[in-house]
């Protein structure tokens, strides 16, 4: 047999294994018959590949009654599922003044968590690398290290695809921080480093496809302003980096001071610190504060609802700044559904007038903005979902190799 034919055969087998893993990842336990229907593979292929992955301890096969209940009649049906003990992943969420780390099994159940406060802008490069690695160590000690298959990182800033470098962010004081290489050197497993908004977009694509469709934008309103894009069902990023920094487009010439050091950025008006600064009547020349607490934002929202003019104006200006960013995006890519993601839908309600007013002034065609703008609160669960799914997908790619040899410990 020609070598090229063998290569093509191995590639096809890997692709078919990956299709089975992807399906089980998205739907949960399935019968072989349902896997045939969902994957489009033949019954023989599903049987052969699933048996191989059961032997490799990647999948489990369990018998369940035909009707799903204990009293159901008929012969028990075999259900295939992901084996939780096949491996672990660790997820790291690095945001301003905080690192949040989780360890999860191969089925996606979180086993251990660790949160730490840190002043991200005062850390040296080595301190940042050591602090992040130590946080991973806290949930993945030597006793479970052999089960670790991947480390996934979300970062509030620009990242490089290949190296996993933290290229730039106003939450740290350094550029081109080699986090990916540092994690690989210390733990010896693959890792992926992604912008937080891109990961939130991945979670939204998986769970809210009916509302957002295959092409949509995600605007993250939190400690900064992030942008993520899904185009025709695929995440969009720059050639080298995450690249989508809508928060640092200019909203006002020589305007409010931004965390990035420039003036007039969208983020300087629309991020939590920008809203707080305007609502409290502080100077736009003041150096931006650190992490704004959820309680502080709730208080500002309550003040706006009670008629406080400064708070109302702060949220309106924040909406107008985001509207300007979306208008620029729509000029390039045409209007598309937008997921507005933040800590509170009440904050978006206060910002919505500013957003819609700017969009109506700038859009060249009639668009139903009620159908275009979709609000999602609870940033952290969406980010955790996207980060965990992306990390487990990386392990699925590893396990799609038919020749993989796993060591499963009790």
* Cβ-proximal residues to 288 (8 Å cutoff; 6+ apart), any chain: 257, 258, 259, 268, 273, 274, 277
For residue 6, the tally of other CB atoms under 10 A from its CB is 10
C-alpha angle 225/230/232, rounded to 5°? 160
Whole-number pLDDT of residue 209: 87
Whole-number pLDDT of residue 74: 58
Domain 3-65+76-82 is in which class? mainly alpha
Second CATH level (architecture) for the domain 206-379: 2-Layer Sandwich (3.30)
Task: Count Cβ atoms within 10 A of the Cβ of residue 396 and give its class: 0-12 exposed, 13-18 middle, 19 or more buried.
Answer: buried
DSSP readout, 138-150? Answer: HHS-GGGGGGEEE
Whole-number pLDDT of residue 410: 43
Domain 86-199+383-399 is in which class? alpha beta
Is the fold of 3-65+76-82 the same as that of 206-379? no
pLDDT (tens, 9 = 90+) of the chain, 410 residues, equals 454 544 467 789 999 999 999 999 999 999 999 999 999 999 999 999 999 999 999 999 987 655 544 444 556 678 999 999 999 999 999 999 999 999 999 999 999 999 999 999 999 999 999 999 999 999 998 888 889 999 999 999 999 989 999 999 999 999 999 999 999 999 999 999 999 999 999 999 988 988 999 999 999 988 899 999 999 999 988 888 887 889 999 999 999 999 999 999 999 999 999 999 999 999 999 988 888 988 999 999 999 999 999 999 999 999 999 999 999 999 999 999 999 998 788 899 999 999 999 999 998 777 888 889 999 988 889 999 999 999 999 999 999 999 988 766 54
Domain boundaries of the chain, sorted by first residue: 3-65+76-82, 86-199+383-399, 206-379
């Amino acid at each position: 047999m020609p070598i090229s034919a063998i290569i093509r055969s191995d590639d096809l087998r890997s692709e078919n294994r990956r299709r089975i893993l992807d399906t089980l990842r998205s739907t949960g336990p399935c019968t072989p018959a349902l896997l045939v229907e969902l994957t489009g593979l033949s019954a023989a292929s599903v049987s052969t590949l699933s048996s191989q992955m059961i032997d490799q301890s990647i999948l489990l096969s369990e018998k369940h009654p035909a009707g799903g209940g204990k009293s159901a009649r008929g012969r028990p049906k075999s259900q295939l599922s992901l084996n939780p003990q096949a491996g672990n992943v660790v997820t790291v969420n690095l945001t301003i003044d905080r690192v949040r780390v989780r360890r999860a099994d191969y089925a996606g159940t979180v086993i251990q968590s660790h949160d730490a406060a840190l002043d991200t802008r005062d850390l040296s490069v080595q301190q940042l690398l050591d602090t992040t690695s130590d946080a991973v160590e806290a949930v993945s000690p030597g006793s479970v290290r052999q089960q670790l298959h991947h480390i996934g990182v979300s970062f509030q800033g620009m990242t490089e695809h290949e190296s996993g470098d933290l290229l730039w962010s106003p939450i740290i004081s350094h550029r081109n921080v080699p986090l990916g290489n540092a994690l690989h050197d210390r733990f010896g497993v693959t890792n992926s480093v992604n912008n937080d908004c891109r990961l939130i977009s991945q979670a939204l694509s998986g769970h809210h496809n009916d509302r957002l469709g295959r092409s949509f934008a995600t605007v993250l309103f939190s400690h900064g302003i992030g942008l993520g894009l899904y185009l025709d069902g695929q995440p969009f990023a720059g050639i080298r980096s995450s690249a989508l920094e809508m928060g640092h487009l200019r909203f006002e010439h020589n305007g409010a001071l931004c965390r990035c050091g420039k003036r007039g950025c969208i983020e300087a008006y629309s991020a939590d610190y920008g809203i707080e600064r305007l609502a409290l009547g502080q100077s736009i020349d003041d150096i931006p504060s650190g992490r704004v607490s959820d309680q502080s934002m709730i208080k500002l929202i309550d003040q706006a609802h009670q008629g406080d003019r400064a708070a109302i104006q702060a949220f309106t200006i924040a909406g107008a700044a985001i509207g300007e960013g979306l208008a620029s995006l729509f000029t390039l890519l045409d209007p598309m559904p937008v997921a507005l993601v933040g800590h509170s839908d009440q904050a978006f309600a206060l910002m919505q007038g500013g957003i819609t007013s700017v969009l109506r002034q700038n859009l060249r065609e009639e668009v139903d903005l009620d159908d275009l703008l979709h609000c999602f609160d609870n940033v952290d669960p969406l980010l955790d979902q996207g980060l965990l799914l992306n990390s487990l997908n990386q392990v699925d790619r590893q396990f799609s190799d038919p020749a993989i040899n796993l060591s499963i410990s009790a």
